[in-house]
Amino acid sequence: MADPDSETPARDDDSDRERHPLAMETLVALCAARGFIYPASEIYGGIAGFWDYGPLGVELKNNLKAFWWRRMVRERDDVVGIDSAIISHPRTWEASGHVEGFSDPMVDCRTCKRRFRADQIEGERCPEAPKKRAVAECDLTEAREFNLMLRTELGASVDEATTAYLRPETCQPIFTGFKRVREAARQKVPFGIAQIGKAFRNEITPRNFTFRSREFEQAEMEFFCHPSESGEWFAHWREQRLQFHRDLGFAEDLLRTRPHAPDELAHYARAADDIEFLFPFGWQEIEGVHDRGDWDLSRHSEYSGKELAVTDERTKERFTPCVIETSVGIDRTTLALLVAAYRQETLENGEERTVLGFHPALAPIKAAVLPLSKKLAEPARAIQRELRRHFNVFYDDAGNIGRRYRRQDEAGTPYCITVDFESGDDGHVTVRERDTMDQKRIPIEGLERYLRDLLEDDR
């Protein structure tokens, strides 16, 4: 749930900023220009808290999701995946506590008609008030609870309408489907259920690019275990999840874990650690690992009247499983990938280049085929046709070769394949590596094998 301290200056100090010279405006502009991420409904001026992923962005995000799915589901015998509906039975959100408690205290300014989180207000003054406005002219309301769930109506006519909610987190359908999935997948506790999907929150102050959006994606895994083992599983999952972020290529000095203080914990939670990333706007949460006790299954059992306890086959003990949750934001992690990958370099000849140094497995485009001249389009296209059966391969024959390399550096493409006038005679092409800019002649016949070895994901 919303952590009112998440954007306090204490975790956003200047020393961190100095280590992070990348300005968000630079990244936001690059993302829009190159088609990673741009404002939703841009031609209407955008809509706050909503973003669209363009041709490069969707590939990057899909690669991230595929890596999560591989790690969390495919490589484990004790975790299975689902893909649930976005809208759940409204009772779900009563049981989960969201109808009653998923809120931030908000203050309205009657003068400027804007709404703020209560923790962003100092004294009686509206944060948006011009300096010369007297405090007395700021007409602030008392703090009021504002529910963050987005509502919608179901039914053919307004009279029959039933209020439903777009899910504010993806995990609740995992709890409501617990019995069905356990039986269908023939799993025994301890085991986990994972899913990736959209979540919606009516954030009052969407900001920091995609970091705090109103529509976003989460990748969540709920691991069900015996209460006596939850401490062990919590430690296991915290380590697994930290390793995942290291494997994305995040350097140690960009990552840290932050245990929640007892007064920060949700009332049902027994322990919670945030995994934080150093963004240009400070240290911020990208993932939460939570020990939720047996609260979720107990509540859904109570509200649905369905038995969700299990029996330990060995001891015949009947118990309600405890839950360790790992919950990572796909959009926040994609943003972290962009931040970590971005670098600006000055080459020996004085030229500048911008590089997105993604891990090759995450790069949106794996290789670009670049004929030196349009006259070489035919053999170059043939190479692309062959390679694109295996990898995402881009073709570009427009403009001088240096500029085409720069464009691929900016897109984070790890390999450029140049087809030249000798290629037809000697059957070789030049492969240029993004980071070192080293170039090698490689036989066209062995190209797929060569790239496969380079791109092999050995994480």
Residues near ligand ATP (CB under 6 A) are: 1-3, 6, 169, 201, 203, 212-213, 216, 218, 285-288, 327-329, 331-332
Choose between 287 and 410: whose C-beta lies nearer to ligand ATP: 287
CB 6 within 8 A of CB 284: yes
d(CA 16, CA 20): 7
CB 219 within 8 A of CB 199: no
d(CA 381, CA 385): 6
- Least Å distance between CB 148 and ligand ATP? 9
Closest-CB residue for ligand ATP?
Answer: 329
- Least Å distance between CB 272 and ligand ATP? 8
- Least Å distance between CB 72 and ligand ATP? 15
Choose between 220 and 410: whose C-beta lies nearer to ligand ATP: 220
d(CA 209, CA 23): 12
3-state per-residue secondary structure call for 288-343? EEEECCCHHHHHHHHHHCCCCCEECCCCCCEECCEEEEEEEEHHHHHHHHHHHHEE
Which residues lie across from 417 on neighbouring strands? Answer: 369, 431
d(CA 84, CA 218): 13
Residues 293, 295, 301, 307, Cα dihedral to 10°: 10
Which residue in this structure is represented by tokens 């390399």?
A: 405
- Least Å distance between CB 283 and ligand ATP? 11
- Least Å distance between CB 284 and ligand ATP? 7
- Least Å distance between CB 178 and ligand ATP? 20
d(CA 71, CA 69): 5
- Least Å distance between CB 187 and ligand ATP? 24
- Least Å distance between CB 217 and ligand ATP? 8
Choose between 3 and 119: whose C-beta lies nearer to ligand ATP: 3
- Cα–Cα nearest to 169, from 365, 413, 389, 1: 1
Choose between 34 and 292: whose C-beta lies nearer to ligand ATP: 292
Q: What stretch of H or E contains 62?
A: helix 55-69
Choose between 59 and 217: whose C-beta lies nearer to ligand ATP: 217
How far, in Å, are 60, 84, 386 from residue 176 at the CA level? 31, 10, 46
Choose between 6 and 111: whose C-beta lies nearer to ligand ATP: 6
Choose between 242 and 310: whose C-beta lies nearer to ligand ATP: 242
Tokens describing residue 95: 């049981």
Choose between 277 and 405: whose C-beta lies nearer to ligand ATP: 277
